[in-house]
Amino acid sequence: MAEADGLDDRDAVGHLLWAARLRPDGRLGPGVRVFRHGSATAVVSPALSGRDRIAVDGKEEDALVLVRDEVLAATGPGYRPFGDAELIAALVRGTPGLTAADGPEFLWMETTVPPPAVPEGVAWLDGRGEKEAATVFDHCFPDSYAQPGRPGTRRWAGAYDSDGGGTLLAVAGDAWSGAGCGFMAGVVTRPEARGRGLGAAVSRFVVDALVREYGRAALMVDADNTAAVAAYRRAGMSGREFGAAVARAWGSAGPS
């Protein structure tokens, strides 16, 4: 069991690459640490999509030893392990003080293939457009981790009213992306414009750009958001059930 200098070929897994926030030269992002034990890898990533996170992958028995005995001791209880749902459930069962995170079930979705067609009428927003996008979040999605101007967000795509009103109707962001894995977040459509395929259009535009620039596009979405999941599948993304855990009382026999 040891801390590693970076990722290697066996770590070419979407959520590990995302958490590593790799620079173009392959170096780890700011504050990122990598730990390994047997088949398991854990990537510790601070302030990633609104939280301090630990991306975990590998066989259950190796991941349990790694996370329970080394990683959580190195990070403290503020970091949340996340990964495949069955793996996280095993970590919760085997780690005193680690409990399943509250909230709905969610999917990790990704693709390494650009969508077959990119819709017209969507473009990257300029500074003025991003200010308008910020008002869309204020009114429609104020709890989004990804919003224009927040740390980790890079650029925003938008679709405007085609009827001549010039109103920004839907947006999607490129946020917390790094070499090997671009990440889409902050997909939102004004309520009065829903049902017109605009959310799907901005999503396909961003997915296309992320795959071409980073080699992979990924996102996380609530599993019960069926409309969004369907739109992302139409953009060529596939998903699997993920889970997250919280160290509520690290080192105790149970949650506090």
Phi, psi of 2 (to 5 degrees): -160, 155
Residue 142 has pLDDT above 80, yes or no: yes
pLDDT category at 254 given cuts 50, 70, 90 is very low
Token pair belonging to 109: 């979705």
The Cα 122–Cα 201 span in angstroms is: 7
Whole-number pLDDT of residue 239: 96
Whole-number pLDDT of residue 1: 61
Token pair belonging to 251: 């080192």
Q: What residues are paired with 175 via a beta bridge?
A: 153
Do the Cβ atoms of 94 and 186 come closer than 8 Å? no
Residue 52 has pLDDT above 70, yes or no: yes
In the chain, helix, strand, coil percent, each to 5?
Answer: 30, 30, 35
Tell me the whole-structure pTM to 2 decimals. Answer: 0.92
> What average pLDDT score do residues 136-160 get?
95
CB-based contacts of 222, cutoff 8 Å, min separation 6: 104, 105, 106, 107, 228
Q: Which of 15, 77, 73 is nearest to 49 (CA)?
A: 15
Q: Which of 85, 109, 172, 90 is nearest to 137 (CA)?
A: 172
Range list of H helices, the chain: 14-20, 60-66, 72-75, 85-94, 127-140, 198-214, 226-234
Residue 104 has pLDDT above 60, yes or no: yes
> What average pLDDT score do residues 16-44 get?
96
CA atoms within 13 A on the CB side of 153: 21
Whole-number pLDDT of residue 253: 36
> What average pLDDT score do residues 156-184 get?
92
The Cα 251–Cα 95 span in angstroms is: 9
Residue 226 has pLDDT above 70, yes or no: yes
The Cα 172–Cα 129 span in angstroms is: 12
